[in-house]
Each structure stands twice: as structure tokens, then as C-alpha cells.
Amino acid sequence: MPRDVPRPAIAEAVQSASPDPAPGGGAHARSPVLVIRHGAFGDLLQADGALRDLREHHRDRPIVLLASSPYTRLMARCPYVDEVIADPRAPMLQLGRNLALLRTLRERGFERVYDLQGSDRTALYRRLMPEPSQWLRKHNPADSGTPDRLAYAWMLAQAGIRVRHADAPDPAWMADDADALLAAAGIPPDYIVLIPGSAARHTHKRWPGHAELARRLGEIGRAVVVVPGPDELELARSLPCHVLATPDGFLDWFALAGVLRRAAFVVGNDTGPTHLAAALGTPGLALFGSHTSVERTGIRMRAFDAIQVPDLSSLSVETVLADVLRRLPR
């Protein structure tokens, strides 16, 4: 894929695309299609629209998704796939585990493979699997300014697939009804969600101003909510806000999506729940340091924006608060 492909180029490429013609025999009458997208979570969100376009194109074929093991339960709910195969992504020297996965893939006889991962691992899978009639591979260098969702759109368009959703993921299927949860916690409908954490190994992504921002928002009468992950509970409890969790653990992805979808606004670090809020169409603001490019992540969509600074510790609460107040729905 050319670097930094503009959206008009994609629009031009998809004008003549059409769905995979369905033969007699009804839905899913033909051989299955394999889609590879391992994750992390934000990567799967970026692929949501592409999966929807593939579902519309291959109306008569089962779509099988090969995803990382931690996300198989999540993606089993996705309405655009019929089956999810877990890839443990075992180290290459663990031959038994890798050969078992390859045996499973070889036995399915996939005629078409859409490699949305585009990694060295999936290149090896291609060499070791029977050659399908079509193997499409995402090309998007890590140093490009192109978000993966745009790279997927380009890849599908070049294959003659009508692209309607790839550049606009919308994982509303992930969101449970959060009304009862919010009512039980006494949270009003115009609440703001803060996402102060990140994976434990990515502490450099954590803006240190969330506690002060929560206090300032509370002073002007806004209810503030935090929904911590497994390694964020202590951090969440240090903030002056509502902490949403279950008595026996943490909210799952589906409850989290329901809470984010109902929020008036979301402020978060560069982490999975923030990307989920953006994809759901919730107004919000992501906070980035220098660890990556905002444009590359694709988090700017619909009502979601981002602030990027060289050092998150230097980003003032006043700057973030002013942006939040300017963009809060009235």
C-alpha cells in the first residue's frame, strides 16, 4: 500500500466493487474465508469495519477469524464472523503448539485469506499452509502515518470489495445495556468517564493529572466515573470519583462498552478502553506522549480528538480541562 493513502483515493477505488455473487444453495454455501487479526484490543477495534465489509461481500461464505487467545470470547460475539479460532501465538520454538494450529488451518482448506495482521508470523503461516486461491495481506509500515483501518480499506478496495465501513468501525454490538449498573451506583446520565490507567508495562502512557482533573470536574458539578482494569484498581481508588466494578472483580468488555457508550464525555490515555470509546462514537479526548503518532493509531474519529505532547508529565490540567469544557455536549 502506498504510504499515507488519502481517503479520496479509496473512494475512487471502490466505485465499481460489488458483493461476492451468491450461487444457489443459500447463505454460507461456499468454502469458508479466513481473516487473521491477532490483537491487542485496539487493533481488533480498528478491524471492526473491515470485518463488516467482508461480511457484506462474502454473503454466502462462513467467515472464520484467527485471533489472539485472550480475545476469542470477545470476538465470538461479533456479528460479522461465524467462528473464532484461538491463536496462542506460541514462541516459534514451541513446535508442538504451532504445528497443532497449522494443522487446524490446513484442514479447513481456506480458499481466501485476508491477512489483516501482516506480520512475520502470518507470513510464515502462509508459507506453511496450502496455497489458497487468494491471500491478501495488509501492508502498512509501522513508521507510516496511516491508521490500520485506512490500510484495510485500501487493501479491500484493491481486491474489488466495496468499502463502506472499514474506515469507520462501530462496535456497538459489544455494548451491554448499562442502565441497571449505572442506576445501582447512583450515577446521573451526564457522567464523564476518566481512563487513567494502561497496561502495567506501559506506565509511560499514563497522564499524571487524572486525579486533579476529576477533582476540578467534581467542583463544577460533573459526575466522574472510572472503570478500572485488573491492574488499575489501586490507581482508580485514588481518584475522587465513582469506581465501577463488580463485587467479585472487574467489568468485562461488554459492560465496559455499555458504560462508555452512555457517557457524556471520555478522557483517557492511549489504551484499549479509550480507543473503544472513540469507536463507539462517544465524544472524548485522548492524551498522548511521544510513544507513538496519534495519526497512526487512528483514534481521531467522529467526536473523538486527541492532544499530543512530547512529555505527558508536562501536560497541564488546565489545558485538558479547557479542551473538555469547550467540547462537552450542552
pLDDT per position in the chain (330 positions), as tens?
Answer: 545 555 555 445 444 445 554 433 444 558 899 999 998 899 999 999 999 999 999 999 999 999 999 999 999 999 999 999 999 998 888 888 888 999 999 999 898 999 999 999 999 999 888 877 789 999 998 888 899 999 999 999 999 999 999 999 999 999 999 999 999 999 999 999 999 988 767 778 899 999 999 999 999 999 999 999 887 888 888 999 999 988 777 899 999 999 999 999 999 999 999 999 999 999 999 999 998 889 999 999 999 999 999 999 999 999 999 999 999 977
For residue 68, give the 3-state DSSP assignment: strand
CATH code where residue 91 lies: 3.40.50.2000
For residue 307, give the 3-state DSSP assignment: strand
**108 within some domain:** yes
- Of 127, 146, 169, which residue is a domain's last? 169
- Of 140, 169, 198, which residue is a domain's last? 169
The domain total for the chain is 2
The end-to-end CA distance of the chain, in Å, is 42
CA-based nearest residue to 183, from 191, 171, 173, 175:
191
Helix axes of 317-327 and 210-219: crossing angle, nearest 10 degrees: 50
**69 within some domain:** yes
**118 within some domain:** yes
Neighbours of 170 (CB within 10 A): 16
Residue 151 sits in the same domain as residue 178: no
Neighbours of 220 (CB within 10 A): 8
Q: Which three cell numbers stand for residue 38?
A: 491477532
What is the span of the domain harbouring residue 105?
Answer: 7-169
Residue 281 sits in the same domain as residue 196: yes
Residue 67 sits in the same domain as residue 53: yes
Which residues on neighbouring strands pair with residue 261, listed in sequence order? none
DSSP code string of 190-244: T-EEEE----GGGGGG--TTHHHHHHHHHHTT--EEE---TT-HHHHHTSSSEE-
pTM of the shown model:
0.89
Q: What angle do CA 15, 155, 69 make, to 5 degrees?
A: 135
Residue 125 sits in the same domain as residue 27: yes
**2 within some domain:** no
